[in-house]
């Protein structure tokens, strides 16, 4: 453990109560909080909204867990609701209507002044908005997806999975492109300029946000909890088990599900080794997916598991974790989680944009189409030595780049530098 020069009190501002169950945001904030605490500092987490995906656990249980680690938790819930405003307000929102955090600034300032913190870590855009123009302590702003991209990818997904786009859908798409996206880009620049240090957890988004003129946006590797050593003893499945995990309402997951259903499963079924394969589909929201996708996934080779928390057993019993997401949006924390378990990973090459540490043939296998991904799955099914080597190197990559002590340690280093300057 790194020696602490001076003990500080740091605040972490996040959308939800951090937790280690599932979901990239909650996991990232949790690992960062633990890393700062493990360095010997006092940590207060202020959550801006209720935890939406608790995985069968109440938000109170997450609070109790963090407080048991010595991390204080406070919650601040605003009353902002853009859906209740006029149609024009929704189609052409004001600058401060883009993020609910803007409406929480006064209350958050009071709470932080009461806490007397030496430095602040803000995670994602809503946290940056909640502290916009508030400079009571040095602050670091770290973000995931750029504000304007998820909607664009989702609209394209919906267009591909419906017979024809409705008039309302067309109006929303045109309004977003013409009226909302430019404001979102301007807001991102403004919020990053207000930080002492700005950073992104996806390498390509760090470059994008720097190019937009928000100021230098650094690439920070995503801290990920370490699940090992685990007391769980996995059983060896009779068939080759592939794990696909992710919330089935997220656009990154849905885009990968398209490739899984349309390309991978037919290709796997056509030429898999004699023992066969089984895909475990883990994640909430199966019933909300477009009917055509649900129908393609309703077959004997797919087991719909729903939400599983914690997902340790699924990772440890899977022969291979598949991540077919083909869009370069953010990073897939599920890949880093798989690395933490020492899993064999087969992923779409698009994921390397956010995680440049992915190396084909070293710590994972990367393909550029459903057909290629299916072929790679067959390859690791037939080659135990390859699968073992990939899994070993995946775990090593996690330890060297994404563990709480390393990736979380870099965040803590930055907070300490700002607080000591």
Closest CA to 224 of 330, 333, 344, 363: 333
Torsion of CA 99, 104, 109, 115, to 10 degrees: -100
Q: In the chain, pLDDT over 70 holds for what percent of residues?
A: 91
CATH 3.40.50.620 is right for the domain spanning 9-223+404-420? no
Single pTM value for the model: 0.92
Closest CA to 66 of 120, 109, 29: 29
Domain ranges of the chain: 9-223+404-420, 240-402
The CA–CA distances, whole Å, from 233 to 103, 162, 178, 319, 339 equal: 48, 44, 54, 14, 18
Query: Which of 69-73, 111-115, 159-163, 333-337 comes out lowest in average pLDDT?
Result: 159-163
| Cβ contact 65:32 at 8 Å | no
Q: DSSP assignment of 215-261, as one string?
A: S-EEE-PPP-----S--------SSEEEEEES-TTSHHHHHHHHHII
Q: DSSP assignment of 293-312, as one string?
A: HHHHH-STTEEEEE--SS-H
Model confidence at 356, pLDDT cuts 50, 70, 90, reads very high
Give Cα 55 to chain centroid, integer Å: 15
- The matching CATH number, chosen from 3.40.50.2000, 3.40.50.150, 3.30.70.360, 3.30.70.20, for 240-402 is 3.40.50.2000
**Residue 369 neighbours by CB under 8 Å, 6+ apart:** 259, 263
Mean pLDDT of the chain, nearest integer: 90
Model confidence at 49, pLDDT cuts 50, 70, 90, reads confident
| Cβ contact 126:100 at 8 Å | yes
**Helix (H/G/I), strand (E/B), else coil: 113:** helix
pLDDT digits (tens, 9 = 90+) for 120-151: 999 999 999 999 999 999 999 999 999 999 98
* pLDDT of res. 275: 80
Token pair for 28: 């990232």
| Cβ contact 86:52 at 8 Å | no
CA geometry: angle 89, 192, 54, nearest 5 deg = 70
The reply to whether 9-223+404-420 and 240-402 are identical in fold is yes
């Amino acid at each position: 453990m790194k020696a602490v020069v001076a003990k500080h009190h740091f605040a972490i501002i996040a959308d939800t109560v951090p937790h280690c169950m599932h979901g990239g945001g909650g996991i990232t904030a949790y690992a960062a909080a633990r890393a700062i605490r493990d360095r010997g500092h006092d940590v207060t987490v202020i959550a801006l909204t209720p935890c939406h995906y608790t995985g069968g656990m109440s938000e109170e249980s997450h609070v109790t867990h963090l407080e048991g680690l010595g991390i204080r938790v406070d919650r601040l819930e605003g009353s902002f609701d853009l859906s209740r405003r006029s149609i024009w307000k929704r189609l052409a929102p004001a600058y401060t209507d883009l993020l609910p955090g803007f409406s929480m600034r006064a209350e958050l300032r009071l709470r932080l002044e009461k806490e007397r913190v030496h430095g602040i870590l803000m995670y994602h855009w809503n946290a940056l908005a909640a502290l916009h123009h508030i400079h009571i302590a040095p602050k670091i702003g770290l973000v995931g997806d750029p504000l304007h991209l998820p909607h664009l990818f989702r609209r394209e997904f919906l267009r591909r999975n419906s017979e024809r786009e409705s008039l309302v859908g067309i109006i929303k798409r045109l309004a977003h492109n013409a009226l909302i996206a430019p404001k979102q880009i301007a807001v991102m620049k403004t919020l990053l300029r207000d930080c002492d240090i700005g950073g992104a957890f996806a390498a390509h988004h760090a470059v994008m946000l720097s190019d937009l003129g928000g100021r230098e946006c650094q690439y920070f590797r995503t801290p990920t909890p370490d699940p090992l050593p685990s007391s769980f003893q996995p059983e060896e499945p009779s068939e080759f088990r592939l794990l696909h995990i992710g919330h089935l309402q997220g656009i990154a997951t849905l885009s990968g599900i398209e490739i899984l259903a349309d390309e991978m499963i037919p290709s796997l079924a056509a030429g898999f080794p004699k023992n066969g394969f089984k895909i475990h589909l883990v994640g909430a929201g199966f019933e909300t997916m477009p009917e055509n996708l649900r129908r393609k996934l309703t077959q004997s080779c797919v087991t719909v598991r729903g939400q599983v928390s914690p997902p340790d057993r699924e990772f440890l019993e899977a022969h291979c974790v598949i991540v077919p997401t083909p869009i370069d949006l953010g990073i897939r924390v599920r890949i880093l989680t798989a690395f933490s378990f020492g899993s064999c990973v087969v992923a779409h090459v698009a994921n390397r944009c956010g995680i440049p540490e992915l190396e084909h043939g070293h710590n994972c296998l990367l393909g550029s189409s459903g057909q290629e991904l299916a072929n790679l799955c067959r390859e690791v099914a037939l080659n135990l030595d390859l699968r073992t080597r990939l899994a070993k190197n995946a775990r090593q990559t996690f330890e060297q780049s994404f563990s709480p002590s390393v990736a979380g340690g870099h965040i803590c280093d930055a907070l300490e530098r700002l607080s000591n300057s």
